[in-house]
């Protein structure tokens, strides 16, 4: 059972102000040189962005790739903070990183996806941050495990860290997909449902992996009511030492932000609210019908289970299930439903029936 989190609202961090959405954190994947950091930060400041990110220690898939500039980069970031008045933030993956950040006056840190997946590291970082007041953003783990993500917030909160936010950056996928990391919007929405006061950001850059996908992913984040975006931006993206294909120039960042259509979560328009209530009432009835249909199906499934048992027949006949899947997916197509979605639902229903027949 997930614990309650004690949280400081986003507007009280002194970093962002809602509305309007999105709150934006932007900056290069990696700090590469003092010139690149300063030029990018100036470009972002000029378009009204106040929270600057840059990776100082970079987790790379292969050794020998550019692994970040380390501590000297923190000095360049302090210049951004002092000369441009921006808040500065970077990724920490160990207690050593935390101590260096604290020493250099970093305003906010984030935990990367690989770190969130490791409770030992999260615990070590949480303890190193104890008694500080700096906000911590936590990316989802590389695998789609909501509890592991929540566990990281619990560990940080247990050390007194209350300025917490989540960043959805997609998850690794074994199959080939168009994005670099598959969005798991349902996981982000589930997190919001469980912790409505936990600020929620999306990272369209690491999700998309390519500049061309950033707009659609950012728009989706806004449509789902997320509070903010973390966007990678570089003064000269094609020359970036890491993640060159997904970084935007500061002027492309403002172009993207200005093209987003951001709808309010609620409105005082009575006509709209009446129509919404009516449609929601219809959905409630349909959901009730779905539950009834599932319960009726389960009853029949139990009868099949005992019939098979009485006649010494195995519970699963694979051929039969393939037929069912074939039938429901072609029927789904007829109704304009995604057959893949229906297959996934029916596989879950089937698993539950088999478990019931096994009892």
Chain positions contacting ligand PEP, by CB under 6 A: 29, 55, 59, 91, 112-113, 139, 169, 203, 206
Q: Which of 355, 359, 354, 356 is nearest to 320 (CA)?
A: 354
DSSP secondary structure of 88-140: EEEE--SHHHHHHHHHTT-SEEEE-HHHHT-HHHHHHHHHHHTT----EEEEP
CB-count burial class (<10 Å; 0-12, 13-18, 19+) for 82: exposed
Alpha-carbon distances of 209 from 9, 203, 205, 253, rounded to whole Å: 30, 10, 6, 15
In the block, which residue shows the tokens 């292969």? 62
Name the minimum Å distance from CB 252 to ligand PEP: 18
Which of residues 16 and 353 has its CB atom nearest to ligand PEP in the complex?
Answer: 16
Which of residues 163 and 234 has its CB atom nearest to Mn ion in the complex?
Answer: 234
Name the minimum Å distance from CB 337 to ligand PEP: 32
Measured from each CB, the residue nearest to ligand PEP is 112
Which of residues 244 and 315 has its CB atom nearest to Mn ion in the complex?
Answer: 244
The residue from 29, 77, 126, 137 that contacts Mn ion (CB under 5 A) is: 29
Name the minimum Å distance from CB 231 to ligand PEP: 10
Which of residues 55 and 204 has its CB atom nearest to ligand PEP in the complex?
Answer: 55
Which of residues 92 and 113 has its CB atom nearest to ligand PEP in the complex?
Answer: 113
Q: Which of 202, 221, 210, 222 is nearest to 25 (CA)?
A: 202
219 Cβ contact partners less than 8 Å away, ≥ 6 residues apart? 260, 261
Which of residues 124 and 243 has its CB atom nearest to Mn ion in the complex?
Answer: 243
Name the minimum Å distance from CB 202 to ligand PEP: 11
DSSP secondary structure of 255-309: HHHHH-----S----HHHHHHHHHHHHHHHHHHHHHHHHHHHHHHHHHHHHHHHH
**Residues in region 105-164 near Mn ion by CB under 5 A:** none
Which of residues 21 and 139 has its CB atom nearest to ligand PEP in the complex?
Answer: 139
169 binds, among Mn ion, ligand PEP, none (CB under 5 to 8 A by kind): ligand PEP
Provide the b/e sequence for 337-356 (b: ≥16 CB within 10 Å): eebeebbeebeebeeebeee
- The H or E element spanning position 339 is helix 339-358
Name the minimum Å distance from CB 238 to Mn ion: 15
8 Å CB contact between 98 and 134: no
Name the minimum Å distance from CB 203 to Mn ion: 9
Our finding on whether 91 is near Mn ion (CB under 5 A) is: no
Q: Which of 97, 265, 118, 234 is nearest to 138 (CA)?
A: 118
**Residues in region 236-255 near Mn ion by CB under 5 A:** 243
Name the minimum Å distance from CB 77 to ligand PEP: 14
106 binds, among Mn ion, ligand PEP, none (CB under 5 to 8 A by kind): none
Name the minimum Å distance from CB 239 to ligand PEP: 17
Roughly what angle, to the nearest 10 degrees, separates helices 214-223 and 250-259? 40
Cα–Cα distance for residue pair 177/141, rounded to 1 Å: 18
Name the minimum Å distance from CB 321 to ligand PEP: 37
Among the candidate windows 15-23, 25-33, 90-98, 136-144, which touches Mn ion by CB under 5 A? Answer: 25-33
Q: Which of 196, 251, 205 is nearest to 227 (CA)?
A: 196
124 binds, among Mn ion, ligand PEP, none (CB under 5 to 8 A by kind): none
Which of residues 119 and 305 has its CB atom nearest to ligand PEP in the complex?
Answer: 119
163 binds, among ligand PEP, Mn ion, none (CB under 5 to 8 A by kind): none
Which of residues 28 and 43 has its CB atom nearest to ligand PEP in the complex?
Answer: 28
Residues interacting with Mn ion, by CB under 5 A? 29, 243
């Amino acid at each position: 059972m997930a614990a309650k989190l004690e949280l400081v609202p986003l507007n009280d961090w002194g970093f962002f102000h809602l509305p309007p959405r999105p709150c934006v954190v932007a900056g290069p994947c990696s700090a590469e040189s003092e010139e690149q950091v300063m030029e990018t930060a100036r470009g972002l400041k000029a378009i009204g962005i106040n929270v600057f990110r840059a990776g100082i220690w970079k987790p790379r898939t292969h050794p020998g790739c550019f692994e970040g500039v380390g501590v000297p980069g923190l000095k360049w970031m302090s210049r951004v903070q002092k000369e441009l008045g921006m808040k500065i933030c970077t990724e920490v993956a160990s207690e050593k990183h935390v101590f260096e950040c604290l020493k250099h006056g970093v305003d906010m840190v984030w935990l990367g996806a690989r770190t969130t997946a490791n409770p030992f590291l999260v615990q070590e970082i949480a303890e190193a941050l104890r008694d500080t007041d700096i906000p911590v953003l936590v990316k989802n783990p590389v695998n789609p495990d909501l509890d592991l993500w929540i566990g990281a917030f619990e560990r940080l909160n247990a050390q007194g860290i209350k300025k917490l936010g989540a960043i959805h950056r997609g998850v690794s996928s074994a199959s080939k997909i168009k994005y670099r990391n598959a969005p798991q919007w349902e996981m982000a929405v589930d997190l919001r449902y469980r912790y409505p006061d936990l600020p929620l950001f999306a990272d369209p850059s690491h999700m998309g992996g390519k500049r061309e996908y950033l707009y659609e992913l950012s728009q989706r984040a806004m449509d789902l009511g997320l509070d903010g975006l973390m966007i990678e931006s570089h003064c000269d993206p094609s020359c970036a030492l890491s993640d060159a294909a997904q970084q935007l120039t500061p002027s492309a960042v403002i172009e993207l932000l200005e093209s987003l259509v951001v709808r309010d979560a609620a409105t005082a328009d009575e006509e709209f609210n009446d129509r919404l209530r009516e449609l929601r009432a219809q959905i409630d009835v349909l959901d009730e019908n779905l539950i009834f249909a599932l319960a009726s199906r389960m009853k029949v499934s139990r009868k099949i289970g005992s019939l098979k048992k009485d006649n010494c027949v195995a519970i699963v006949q694979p051929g039969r299930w393939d037929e069912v899947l074939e039938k429901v997916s072609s029927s789904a197509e007829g109704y304009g439903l995604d057959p893949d979605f229906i297959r996934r639902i029916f596989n879950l229903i089937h698993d539950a029936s088999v478990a019931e027949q096994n009892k």
